Amino acid sequence: MLDRPARLLLAAACAALLLPACRGSQPSGSEPGAVEIAAEVDGETISTAEIDQRIKDDLFESRTGSPAKLYELRADTLEDMIRERLLEAEAKKRGVPASAIIELELKEMGPLGAEEIQAVFDENFAGKSDVTLEQVRPQIERYLQSRRAAAVPAKLRERAGVKVLLVEPRFEIAAEGPSKGPAEARITIVEFSDFQCPYCQRAVGTMQQVLEKYPADVRLVYRHLPLESIHPHARGAAEASACADAQGQFWAYHDKLFQNNRALAPEDLQRYAAEVGLDPKAFEACIADAKTKAKVDADLGAARAAGITGTPAFVVNGRMLSGAQPAQNFFEVIDEELAKAPAPAAAGPS
Cβ-based neighbour number of residue 329 at 10 Å: 14
Residues in the chain: 350
Alpha-carbon distance of 235 to 120, in angstroms, equals: 49
Residues 225 and 319 in one domain: yes
What pLDDT is stored for residue 253 in this prediction? 98
How many domains, in total, are found in the chain? 2
Residues 146 and 248 in one domain: no
Q: Is 247 exposed, middle or buried (0-12, 13-18, 19+ CB in 10 A)?
A: middle
What pLDDT is stored for residue 11 in this prediction? 41
Indicate whether 143 belongs to any domain: yes
Q: In sequence order, what are the residues at sequence separation of 6 or more whose Cβ sits closer than 8 angstroms to the Cβ of residue 104?
A: 94, 96
CB 261 within 8 A of CB 231: no
Of 262, 236, 241, give the one whose Cα is nearest residue 252.
241
Low-confidence residues in the chain, pLDDT < 70 = 1-33, 342-350
Give the residue numbers spanning the domain of 261: 179-340
Residues 288 and 190 in one domain: yes
Alpha-carbon distance of 133 to 131, in angstroms, equals: 7
The CATH number covering residue 264 comes to 3.40.30.10
Indicate whether 277 belongs to any domain: yes
What pLDDT is stored for residue 128 in this prediction? 87
Residues 85 and 203 in one domain: no
Residues 195 and 86 in one domain: no
Indicate whether 167 belongs to any domain: no
Residues 245 and 308 in one domain: yes
Residues 149 and 206 in one domain: no
pTM of whole model > 0.85? Answer: no
Alpha-carbon distance of 45 to 141, in angstroms, equals: 60
What pLDDT is stored for residue 345 in this prediction? 58
- What is the torsional sign of CA 122, 125, 126, 127? positive
Rg (C-alpha) for the chain, rounded Å, is 28
Q: With H, G, I as helix, E, B as strand and everything else as coil, classify residue 198.
A: helix
Indicate whether 123 belongs to any domain: yes
Residues 187 and 330 in one domain: yes
Tally: H helices and E strands in the chain: 13, 7
Q: In sequence order, what are the residues at sequence separation of 6 or more whose Cβ sits closer than 8 angstroms to the Cβ of residue 155?
A: 105
Residues 140 and 254 in one domain: no
Residues 148 and 54 in one domain: yes
Indicate whether 24 belongs to any domain: no
Residues 133 and 278 in one domain: no
